[in-house]
Structure 1
Amino acid sequence: MRDLFLLCFLPVAIYFIFRRPFIGVALSAWTSIFAPHTWVWGFGTSLRVNLVITAVTVLSFIINKREGKGAFTSASIWMLVLFVWGTLATMFTEGISTVAWFEWDVFWKIIFLFFMVTMVINTRHRVEVVLWAVAIAGSLIGCNEGLKYIISGAGHIIVGPPGTRIGDRNDLALALNMLLPVCFFLYNSTKHQLLKKIMLGVIIANIVCIIGSFSRGGFIGLCIVAFFYFLKGKNKILILTGSLVVAAALPSLMPQSWFDRMNTIETATEDMSFIGRVQAWKQAVLMANDHPVFGGGFKAGQNTYLWRLYEPEFEKFDHIVQTSHVSFPFAKAAHSIYFQVLGDLGYCGLFIYLMLLLTAYRHLGYAASHAGEDEWLRNVANSLKVSMIVFGVSGALLSQPYFDLTFVVIGLSVVLCTMARKRVSATANAGAAVAPVLQTLSGKS
């Protein structure tokens, strides 16, 4: 039944995409996160839904003459440089070539999604459509897992769709934390009372999913979101009361294993998982020292041969964290967006990546501070700033540097910054037009 529904969904989607390319961009973002092919069991599993939607969107954009001018800022330049650097790093990879090129294939598609956003999304309505698309995509998964967790009495093991970027519970918690500010924005901006109630339920279910994921990085990200809204929100008493209620209810709702896992944050140096991550960070630094320009290439750090090659040198950093007493049979994932990029693309690639994130955050700051009387622009920019902060902090413990949702947010930062610049320019032009008239009137008086 699900397969038939998915098959019927495609021609309808294609029809509307040909009429409005921005619908294709929203659906492309939706499918990249939700991965509808993972929710079916029959012939639908072989349907390349995202590929079809993306191809139709590009064709629609080319033939549709009603589309406006795309946005291009310094973040766009950094994104292009990152793409070139990633391509060169893949060409000179120190790891397995087929693995590196497979990762590059995912890498360029995510960057392409960024440029689709910046080229097609250029109005308030279109921005909101994309925000609804990503919020629905993540929340369908979050609510599904969160409700299962509640119904099972905390017995359900929360995971994301298998074989996707958010298949791991830690990655799912990161995505939901990034989407929480978007959900809060949509909740506050909609005037439909039933929809507001639904969004409130979605927010609660997503929070349950984050907590129930047992993800330490997810719990830290949730605290960041709560702290931000306590500082910046208007209903500080309500937020504080809600946080205290959740904190008070946790002992009776969560199993002891959850508290045991959260307590490992304080005793990280004794945790085998953390030691494995530190060794991966050491390996990334050593590989970047040997290949500072282009690094080892995508996934080179997860190559067991290269891991064994650098393992004897891990002791160079034992004065920071002692790990020489542990040896793992296989290479460990970086579990850090920063160390993974360092190992993948070298010091130069890490600099480019950090500049991209910083520029996107500054774009959102510019949009918020130059929104003037446009409350909508200020609110959406501030919400996406929280998403970027959550990604920057929680991502320090996760291997998700090339994350679809993050690149959509970066694309929207370009769009919002361009909107703010147009607003500032229009205000300046209006002031310049009025100035001669005022001078004439003052001269006559």
Structure 2
Amino acid sequence: MLRSLFLIGVFLGFLGLGMAAPFVLSLGYVWASIFRPQSVAYAILPAIPVSLILGALAILWFVLRDLRYPPRMTPVLALLLAMAVWVTFTTAVLAIAPEMAWTKWDWAFKTIVFAAFMVFVFRSRIQIEALVQVICFSFAGHFLLVGVKTLISGGGYGKELGLIGGNTGFGEGGNFAAATQMCVPLLVFLARHNLLAPRWKLAPLGYLGLAGLALIASVGTYQRSALIGLAVLGIAFWLRSRRKLLVGGICVAGALFLAFATSSAWLERMETIDDYKSESSAYTRILVWQWTLGFVADHPLGGGFSSYVVNEIAVPPTPERPEGYVQHGRAFHSSYFEMLGEHGWPGLALFLALNLLTLLNMERVRQQARGREDFLWCRDLATALQLALLVLLSSGAFVGIAFQPMFWYLYALGACLQHHWQRASADFRVTQRADALAATGRVPRSLRNAQAKAAAR
């Protein structure tokens, strides 16, 4: 009951603070979509549509109280809206399993649309950092417990270690591992640049400790996709680091710790990556991907959400099942094949374009902010978003997480940072020009108006 009362307090806190600062309501929606308080609480909250209340109030209060200086239409924002329209079309017109398709559309569509809405809401450095904090701590509510249990018991494949059970959402090990690893670069960024947390000397160590627990929790799932994500994360950190010797030493030390601290069961499961045909789960995924390619050859526009339910996979004999067997309705187990099978080549093209544009935009921010100490946080956040997205893209090759909030909130964060950088750098140039002209005693009226507009932001 205490857990339920605490979560009700958090919910009411978002509502109360949101009345004074509309962007807090959007933070509340992000918290509800990631942490899933309705699934965690024992009483009261499961009967309340938390996400619906917070989302509706966020949009309404933004229109009434905070609608100013909206961002111009950019390729990323246009792609988000195009994806929302396309998945609605495939669900309404092309769905092979309409009932299941509309069920998934209900939450996937909301995730996409709210990600587009977030671009309008989070404008300042404080607001963007608050969004990063809420994303990380909402996920931490899940992986903190798993990290501690893994340190004590060693984790295990298929075990329910977190707050949410079952084999869907963040209760599924692959989804969980990808999300926790995504948080690592964001937590490292917060350890260096946070403004909202109390200015304690140990605060950076707290963020780094959470990042370490996230890595441990991902290992504790025994997911092979987690090992791939770890490798990509380590290499990307080393390539982006300004202290390659230090980061390289940390990566090597972490690899050695992993080798000596993990159990033989974890090592045996990881070894099945090399010999996928001897492990039915891995081999069945390949057969599902082959089926998906054949499916889109006949349905190039996709079959709508959950179209995998019509597949029929004939698994040849394996050491585990020497007689072979037929499996029906096997999930895609890949973000790319999930997008391809459900929404066809147009959906996959939109998905890849969103990821590529976000990575390129963050690289542009990194390059333009280079050497600017006042915008060092922009450069480091752009780097963190790149690393987080690369982790999801690598893990997502083997886990169906294309419509989980992690991807879409990263797109939104990248767009928010890009818009903030464009405004802040333009305002900085206006100020510089005004200071130069003020020294001569001549400041044009147009420049004074530009200064006033910049100050109002």
Category of TM-score, reference length = shorter chain: 0.7 to 0.9
Deviation at 1:432, TM superposition (A): 7.2
Partner of 2:58: 57
Q: 1:89-238 residue pairs with structure 2 within 5 A?
A: 89-154=90-155, 157=159, 159-160=161-162, 161-162=164-165, 165-190=169-194, 192-238=200-246
Out of 170-179 and 151-160, give the one that drifted further: 151-160
**Count of aligned pairs:** 425
Cα distance between partner residues in 2 of 1:15 and 1:94: 41
Is 1:347 paired with 2:354?
A: no
Is 1:300 paired with 2:337?
A: no
Asked if 1 retains the 8 angstrom alpha-carbon contact of 2:240 and 2:383, the reply is: no
Gapped runs of 5+ residues in structure 2?
317-322, 441-457
Asked if 2 retains the 8 angstrom alpha-carbon contact of 1:367 and 1:419, the reply is: no
Name the amino acid aligned to 2:235.
Answer: F
Asked if 1 retains the 8 angstrom alpha-carbon contact of 2:285 and 2:332, the reply is: yes
- Secondary structure, aligned partner of 2:139: helix
- Secondary structure, aligned partner of 1:358: helix
- Secondary structure, aligned partner of 2:396: helix
Asked if 1 retains the 8 angstrom alpha-carbon contact of 2:71 and 2:419, the reply is: no
Name the amino acid aligned to 1:362.
Answer: L
Q: Deviations over 1:374-410 (max 9, x none)?
A: 1111000110011111111110111111121211110
Partner of 1:21: 22
Identify if the C-alpha distance between structure 1 residues 65 and 177 changes in structure 2 by more than 3 Å, giving closer, same or farther: closer
- Secondary structure, aligned partner of 1:122: coil
Partner of 1:336: 334
Partner of 2:291: 283
Identify if the C-alpha distance between structure 1 residues 102 and 430 changes in structure 2 by more than 3 Å, giving closer, same or farther: same
Name the amino acid aligned to 1:27.
Answer: G
- Secondary structure, aligned partner of 1:328: strand
Identify if the C-alpha distance between structure 1 residues 158 and 202 changes in structure 2 by more than 3 Å, giving closer, same or farther: farther
Partner of 1:443: none
Partner of 1:442: none
Deviation at 1:327, TM superposition (A): 3.8
Partner of 2:320: none
Deviation at 1:232, TM superposition (A): 2.1
What TM-score do you get using the length of structure 1 for normalisation?
0.88
Deviation at 1:330, TM superposition (A): 2.2
Name the amino acid aligned to 1:268.
Answer: Y
Is 1:265 paired with 2:273?
A: yes
Asked if 2 retains the 8 angstrom alpha-carbon contact of 1:72 and 1:118, the reply is: no
Asked if 1 retains the 8 angstrom alpha-carbon contact of 2:183 and 2:211, the reply is: no
- Secondary structure, aligned partner of 1:289: helix
Partner of 1:254: 262
Q: Deviations over 1:27-50 (max 9, x none)?
A: 211221111122222233222222
Cα distance between partner residues in 1 of 2:24 and 2:45: 22
- Secondary structure, aligned partner of 2:282: helix
Name the amino acid aligned to 1:182.
Answer: L
Gapped runs of 5+ residues in structure 1?
316-324, 440-445
Identify if the C-alpha distance between structure 1 residues 168 and 381 changes in structure 2 by more than 3 Å, giving closer, same or farther: same
Partner of 1:76: 77
Sequence identity, in percent? 24
Cα distance between partner residues in 2 of 1:299 and 1:66: 37
Name the amino acid aligned to 2:183.
Answer: L
Q: Deviations over 1:397-428 (max 9, x none)?
A: 11111121211110111111222323454466
Cα distance between partner residues in 1 of 2:438 and 2:56: 52
Name the amino acid aligned to 1:379.
Answer: D
Name the amino acid aligned to 2:48.
Answer: L
Asked if 1 retains the 8 angstrom alpha-carbon contact of 2:81 and 2:116, the reply is: no
Deviation at 1:436, TM superposition (A): 9.1
Asked if 2 retains the 8 angstrom alpha-carbon contact of 1:71 and 1:122, the reply is: no
Partner of 2:31: 30
Q: Deviations over 1:155-214 (max 9, x none)?
A: 693544236621111110000111111011001224532222221221121111011111
Partner of 2:361: 363
Cα distance between partner residues in 1 of 2:425 and 2:59: 31
Cα distance between partner residues in 2 of 1:40 and 1:434: 56
Deviation at 1:228, TM superposition (A): 1.7
Name the amino acid aligned to 1:170.
Answer: G
Identify if the C-alpha distance between structure 1 residues 428 and 218 changes in structure 2 by more than 3 Å, giving closer, same or farther: same
Name the amino acid aligned to 1:162.
Answer: G
Q: 1:243 aligns with which of 245, 251, 261?
A: 251
Asked if 2 retains the 8 angstrom alpha-carbon contact of 1:29 and 1:113, the reply is: no
Out of 253-262 and 123-132, give the one that drifted further: 253-262
Cα distance between partner residues in 2 of 1:381 and 1:329: 43
Higher relative contact order by CA 8 Å / sep ≥ 6: 1 or 2? 1
Asked if 2 retains the 8 angstrom alpha-carbon contact of 1:364 and 1:384, the reply is: yes
Partner of 1:321: none
After superposition, the CA RMSD in angstroms is 2.7
Identify if the C-alpha distance between structure 1 residues 95 and 425 changes in structure 2 by more than 3 Å, giving closer, same or farther: same
Identify if the C-alpha distance between structure 1 residues 421 and 66 changes in structure 2 by more than 3 Å, giving closer, same or farther: closer
Deviation at 1:116, TM superposition (A): 2.6
Cα distance between partner residues in 2 of 1:409 and 1:226: 20
Q: Deviations over 1:264-301 (max 9, x none)?
A: 11122332111111121112111211111x21111111
Deviation at 1:154, TM superposition (A): 4.6
- Secondary structure, aligned partner of 1:95: coil
Name the amino acid aligned to 1:286.
Answer: G
Partner of 2:10: 9
